[in-house]
Structure 1
């Protein structure tokens, strides 16, 4: 899920801001501190989202450095009602795993500026991969977390992943034509970010078309059944993750009135064309 591991970014000289400290591994903690030049200190810790590969080291690093942790909110923050109901029904987990104990010292929101020796970092609310997902714009670069990566499409796994929010967030980033490069949470920098955003949107629309075609040909079905029909080229062990991705699409399509759920939305709800 994390490719070559989680990437932590350090910005500035003297007073330094850390973006995504990463998993709670002593080696990760020590490597981060060793990357500082003599006399430098961490004064802000920013977290794009609270999956277990991004946020758990924030609290230990804050304890070591005295720097506050800034994020949109705790792990359950920002879910739409349909996703909150899913969580309350018992549908949890999936993907990289949620940092259930995460609690930022300060909450930050769309449009805020975080200023210091690094200059100014603009906060962008970019839910989709997770409800509390943020991106950070700095000069002509954007730190995109797990929303936009070059090596893989972003996992969208309900109740934390939300396809409706994903579409809106990626469209928003695609409209920001001044961003020269994205630095994601995993993988190489994205050097043609608008093109990559459009590729991701096209990929998702293609998956949506496959789901609608399967419903048209075979009638109503649940997410697991549709995933087995659509994802014919993956190992069976990966089908549960694929089913969560399909469910994210089904919820979005239902919200838009394209399809209909045969009852309250859960992981086993059947959907049919309107």
Structure 2
């Protein structure tokens, strides 16, 4: 019998080369929401950019400095400001002198149970990249692709030379992204997914999970999954009438790790808000939802 896969068993702190321009270092922060942990990417050769520096943990910072190996760091790029992605930007900037560049700062408190990492309240970028703006080094260019949905400030970064896209948490290699209101927005997420579907990237490098080598197929599948979930919600309301979100989660997420029920509930809420905006569902004063 095969030994069950345990994400915590994967080696952390080791520089793994993925292409001539791309390498990664896995942070030691596996969890039900980060899978094996946050993957920090190094892009370049003679000089490098660091994408999603990860949590501010001494072990991870030491591993990143060893991986950089004295090369000049052109930029420290953050896809978004959840605490498993951006906090190491500050100490890494202090150690390397590199500017923090990428997504806009964003801090807010969720109005329900946390569905993923909280926001990094101390994130202060030296430069915010707008959609299409780029950072370049010797033989590489990274262009920002605005992808709101998981968070309103989420960016992906396109490596022009490889037709590769660093997708942060917008598209992950192991699970669908958490969409948690009030900042997480299902309507924006689906628009962003459609945008990726129309691109010609040949590989995705997510912050969690392995590289995705048929990205358009995965995006189509993830969009289909969201449409199926939307259909489940509508059928539940049709069958049961006015309903509470925990009741929907109990039926629709059977077999899911109970630790993920909070995230599931936030995802259902995101779908309901989207359905409300499209005139298909409506909230009631007691927290339940009904069909329109």
TM-score of the two chains, using structure 2 as the length reference: 0.83
* Structure 1 residue 75 corresponds to structure 2 residue 106: yes
SS of 2:68's equivalent in the other structure is coil
CA distance in 2, matches of 1:269, 1:237: 22
Decide which moves more: 153-162 or 119-128: 153-162
* Structure 1 residue 171 corresponds to structure 2 residue 194: yes
For residues 227-254 of structure 1, the C-alpha deviation after alignment (integer angstroms, 9 at most, x for no partner) is 1232222344432221111001101111
Does the CA-based 8 Å contact 1:15-1:43 persist in structure 2?
yes
CA distance in 2, matches of 1:215, 1:100: 38
> Alpha-carbon deviation of 1:92?
6.6
Number of residue pairs matched by the alignment: 258
* Structure 1 residue 183 corresponds to structure 2 residue 214: no
Counting only pairs closer than 5 Å after superposition, residues 42-191 of structure 1 correspond to structure 2 as 42-76=73-107, 90-91=111-112, 93-139=114-160, 140-176=163-199, 178-191=200-213
Structure 1 residues 237 and 91 mapped into 2: Cα distance closer, same or farther (>3 Å)? closer
Structure 1 residues 259 and 71 mapped into 2: Cα distance closer, same or farther (>3 Å)? same
What does residue 34 of structure 1 align with? 66
Does the CA-based 8 Å contact 1:58-1:69 persist in structure 2?
yes
Q: Which has the higher contact order (CA 8 A, sep 6+)?
A: 1
CA distance in 2, matches of 1:43, 1:119: 11
What does residue 262 of structure 1 align with? 284
> Alpha-carbon deviation of 1:100?
2.1
SS of 1:131's equivalent in the other structure is coil
> Alpha-carbon deviation of 1:48?
0.5
> Alpha-carbon deviation of 1:35?
0.9
Does the CA-based 8 Å contact 1:227-1:239 persist in structure 2?
yes
Does the CA-based 8 Å contact 1:261-1:270 persist in structure 2?
yes
> Alpha-carbon deviation of 1:114?
1.4
For residues 74-132 of structure 1, the C-alpha deviation after alignment (integer angstroms, 9 at most, x for no partner) is 124xxxxxxx8xx58x4473312221222212111101121222422111010111111
Structure 1 residues 57 and 211 mapped into 2: Cα distance closer, same or farther (>3 Å)? same
What does residue 200 of structure 1 align with? 222
Does the CA-based 8 Å contact 1:45-1:67 persist in structure 2?
yes
> Alpha-carbon deviation of 1:33?
1.0
SS of 2:39's equivalent in the other structure is coil
CA distance in 2, matches of 1:118, 1:49: 25
What does residue 81 of structure 1 align with? none
* Structure 1 unpaired stretches of 5+: 77-83
For residues 8-59 of structure 1, the C-alpha deviation after alignment (integer angstroms, 9 at most, x for no partner) is 111112221111101111111111111124x412120100011111111001
Question: What's the Cα RMSD here?
Answer: 1.7
Does the CA-based 8 Å contact 1:224-1:240 persist in structure 2?
no
CA distance in 1, matches of 2:245, 2:189: 19
> Alpha-carbon deviation of 1:66?
1.2
Structure 1 residues 34 and 236 mapped into 2: Cα distance closer, same or farther (>3 Å)? closer
Structure 1 residues 146 and 118 mapped into 2: Cα distance closer, same or farther (>3 Å)? farther
